[in-house]
Chains A and B, each alone.
Chain A
C-alpha cells in the first residue's frame, strides 16, 4: 500500500527543488527586516512604527491580522463539525491539515496582538480583570479557550508521531464534547468580531454598518474558511507534490456557494432595508470599494462555483475559492478601515513597518506549516484511506484490502 502512496504523485524531484529553494530566499530577506521592525516597535512605540493616530487608532494589524486571521481559520471548526458531528467521514483526510492551519492561524493572531497592544506584557489582564459587557473581553476569552481546544484537537497527531498511546486515547475519548465546545467557542468569537463594530453606528459607513454584523461575520468566516481549505490543499499540493483531493474539495465548493450565497443575499437584503443600497451605485470612494468587494468577492465566486464544470476543474475551484477569500479580506478591511475613514476625518494607509509585520507573521505561519507537514503525519497515508483516492484507485485499494 505505502509503495503505491509514494509513487502516486509521480513528479517528485524536478518540481520540488526550485520551490523549496524559493521560499528560504524570501524568508532570509524577510527575517532581518522583521527583526528590525520588531526592535523599533518595542523600543520606540506604536507611533514610530505605524501610521496609527488618535483619529485612526485601529489599523491593518487589527483589520487584517486579527479580523482576517481568525476568520480564515474558520475552516477548522467547520470541518471538525462536518466530520465529527455530522459524521461525514469521507472528509477525514483533509481534517488534519485544516486543523493545523487553524491552530497556526490563531497563533498568528496572538502574535499579531502582541505587536498591536500598547502594553502586550499585560495581555493576561483579560484573564484577571473582567468586564462581561465588553465584546473584546468575550473575544479574548473565546480566542484563548479555542486556541486551547485547537491544540487538543491537533495533539493526537503529535501523540501519534511520538507514540504516546494513552494521552491519545484519552483525547479521542472526549472528542465529541471537545468538538462541540470548539464549534460553540468559534460561533461566539467569529460573530463577535463583527459585534466589535456595533458600537460605532455614527462612525461606520452605512454600506458596512448593520445590526446584523455578527451574523455577517459568522457566515463570511465559514465561507472563507472553506475557501482557505481549498487554497491550502492547492498550495500544499504544489509544495509537496500531492494530488488535489478534488472529490473532497468539490463538495466544499458547493457548500461555499450555499454559505456565500446566503451571506450575499442577507447583505443585499440589509442594504435594501436600511436604504443604504442607493449609496452603492455612486462613484464615491466607499461605493467603489463596496462594488469591488461585493462584485469580485461575493457575486463572481458564487457564480463561478455554482457552475458544475468550473467547480470540478482544479483551476476553476481554486479561482473561486481565491476570489471568495479575497472578497472576505476586503470586507473585513472595509469594515475596519475604509468604512471608518470618512468619520475619522483622515485617511489611513499602513506604514511599511506595519506591512512587514503582517507579511512576516504570515511567512512564519507558512514556514511552521511546512515544517509540521514534514515531521508530523498531517497528510494521511492515502492508500489506507480509500475515500481519498480517485475512484479507480479506490476500487483497487478496496479489492486489495478485501
Chain B
C-alpha cells in the first residue's frame, strides 16, 4: 500500500499545529519560521486569503531521487521520499532541481545537510500517521492510502462543487505526487507551480542518459575507423614518397609534410 496525505485548503484555519508537531516529532530546533527551511519542514502560508500548507509533495517519480549523484534521496514503497544525511555530499542539485522547491540547506553550518519533510516515515513504521496529520484539529490534513484519498477528494469536489476548483493538485503534476491538495482557488494563486509537465521529470534527463552507452560505442568505433584510414593514408604517403621524385619542401602550409612525429 502506498500512503499519501490529502490537504484541503478550504478546511485549514492556519493554526500552525502541524508545524509545531512536525518540529517536535522530528527533533527540529525552534522557532517555527515563516517559510520552510532546513529546520522548518512545514509551514502554513496565507496566499490570497487562503491558508495553504507547504510540505514535501513526495512525488511518485521524485526529481530529487533521480538527480542525487550519491543516491541520498530514496522513494520508499510506503510513499515517503526519505533522505540519508550520511550519504549526502552537499552538491545541492536536489534543491536546484525540485519542481516544488522543497529541499532546503543548512547554509549556516560548516557541516551542513539537507532538510525536508520525510512524511514521518519512522512513525509510519510504528503504524502511526505523520505528526502533522495526527494533530490537525479540522481534518484539513488527512493521512491514508493514496488511492482512497483520491476517491475521497473526488467525492468532496462532487458534493460541494462551489467550494472547490475542479482539480486535485498532485494527481498528475510532475507524474503525480503522494501529497494531494484541494482548494477553492486556482493553485497557481497559492504559489503552487502550474507549468509542470504531467510526465515524470526524471524522464527529461533519462532520455539522454540512456542513449549514452550507444554514443560511446558508436563514437569510439567511428573514431577508430577515422584513425585507421588517416594512418593508412600517412603510411601510403611515406612508402610512395621516396619512390617518386623528392618532394620539394617548399609546399605552402598544408598537412603535407612527412615525419611530423618528434
A residues with a Cβ closer than 8 A to B are: 42-48, 52-55, 57-58, 81, 84-90, 92, 116-120, 122-123, 125-126, 128-138, 140, 176, 180-181, 183-184, 187-188, 192, 195-196, 198-203, 211, 214, 247, 380, 384-387, 391, 394-395, 398-399, 402
Q: A199, B204: Cβ atoms under 8 Å?
A: yes
Answer yes or no: B262 CB below 8 A from chain A CBs. Answer: yes
> In whole angstroms, how far apart are the Cα atoms of A158 and B234 in the complex?
28
When distances are taken between beta carbons in the complex, the residues of chain B under 8 Å from A132 are: 209
Answer yes or no: B219 CB below 8 A from chain A CBs. Answer: yes
Known contacts: A57-B95, A131-B70, A199-B63. The answer to whether A89 contacts B255 by CB under 8 A is yes
When distances are taken between beta carbons in the complex, the residues of chain A under 8 Å from B201 are: 199
Nearest CB in chain A to that of B71: its residue: A131
Nearest CB in chain B to that of A200: its residue: B97
Q: A135, B209: Cβ atoms under 8 Å?
A: yes
Tell me whether chain A's interface is mostly helix, strand or loop, or mixed: helix
Instruction: Bits for B235-262, please: 1 = Cβ < 8 Å to A, else 0.
Output: 0000000000000011011010100111
Answer yes or no: B30 CB below 8 A from chain A CBs. Answer: no
> What is the minimal beta-carbon distance from B228 to any residue of chain A, in angstroms?
9
Tell me whether chain B's interface is mostly helix, strand or loop, or mixed: loop
| In the A-B complex, the 4 residue pairs with the closest CB atoms | A118-B90, A89-B260, A47-B107, A87-B230
Between B97, B106, B230, the greatest number of chain A beta carbons within 10 A of the residue's beta carbon is seen for B97
> In whole angstroms, how far apart are the Cα atoms of A136 and B209 in the complex?
11
When distances are taken between beta carbons in the complex, the residues of chain B under 8 Å from A187 are: 215-216, 219
Nearest CB in chain A to that of B92: its residue: A57
When distances are taken between beta carbons in the complex, the residues of chain A under 8 Å from B216 are: 184, 187-188
- Can you spell out 25 A-B residue pairs with CB atoms less than 8 angstroms apart? A45-B107, A45-B108, A47-B109, A54-B38, A86-B227, A87-B234, A118-B92, A119-B88, A119-B89, A120-B90, A125-B70, A132-B209, A133-B205, A133-B206, A134-B66, A134-B69, A138-B209, A181-B220, A187-B215, A188-B216, A195-B209, A201-B197, A202-B195, A387-B257, A402-B249
Q: B69, A122: Cβ atoms under 8 Å?
A: no
Q: A86, B96: Cβ atoms under 8 Å?
A: no
Given contacts A184-B220, A199-B202, 8 further A-B contacts (CB under 8 A): A47-B109, A84-B227, A119-B113, A122-B90, A133-B209, A135-B67, A199-B204, A387-B257
When distances are taken between beta carbons in the complex, the residues of chain A under 8 Å from B255 are: 88-90
> In whole angstroms, how far apart are the Cα atoms of A128 and B70 in the complex?
8
Known contacts: A125-B89, A199-B205. The answer to whether A188 contacts B67 by CB under 8 A is no
Between B111, B223, B233, the greatest number of chain A beta carbons within 10 A of the residue's beta carbon is seen for B223
When distances are taken between beta carbons in the complex, the residues of chain A under 8 Å from B72 are: 129
Q: B108, A47: Cβ atoms under 8 Å?
A: yes
Q: B204, A198: Cβ atoms under 8 Å?
A: yes
Q: A92, B262: Cβ atoms under 8 Å?
A: yes
Nearest CB in chain A to that of B202: its residue: A133
> In whole angstroms, how far apart are the Cα atoms of A20 and B249 in the complex?
39
Instruction: Bits for B63-77, please: 1 = Cβ < 8 Å to A, else 0.
Output: 101111111100000
> What is the minimal beta-carbon distance from B90 to any residue of chain A, in angstroms?
2
> In whole angstroms, how far apart are the Cα atoms of A278 and B101 in the complex?
29
When distances are taken between beta carbons in the complex, the residues of chain B under 8 Å from A85 are: 223, 226-227, 230
When distances are taken between beta carbons in the complex, the residues of chain B under 8 Å from A137 are: 69-70
B residues with a Cβ closer than 8 A to A are: 37-38, 63, 65-72, 87-93, 95-97, 99, 101, 104-113, 193, 195-197, 201-202, 204-206, 208-209, 212, 215-216, 219-220, 223-224, 226-227, 230-231, 233-234, 249-250, 252-253, 255, 257, 260-262
Nearest CB in chain B to that of A53: its residue: B107
Q: A198, B110: Cβ atoms under 8 Å?
A: no
Q: A195, B208: Cβ atoms under 8 Å?
A: yes
When distances are taken between beta carbons in the complex, the residues of chain A under 8 Å from B209 are: 132-133, 135, 138, 192, 195
> In whole angstroms, how far apart are the Cα atoms of A201 and B201 in the complex?
9
* One of B112, B195, B220, B262 near A119 (C-beta < 8 A): B112
Known contacts: A52-B107, A184-B220, A198-B205. The answer to whether A136 contacts B91 by CB under 8 A is yes
> What is the minimal beta-carbon distance from A222 to any residue of chain B, in angstroms?
14
When distances are taken between beta carbons in the complex, the residues of chain B under 8 Å from A386 are: 249, 257
Q: B196, A129: Cβ atoms under 8 Å?
A: no
> In whole angstroms, how far apart are the Cα atoms of A138 and B104 in the complex?
24
> In whole angstroms, how far apart are the Cα atoms of A195 and B69 in the complex?
14
> In whole angstroms, how far apart are the Cα atoms of A57 and B262 in the complex?
49
> What is the minimal beta-carbon distance from B189 to any residue of chain A, in angstroms?
15
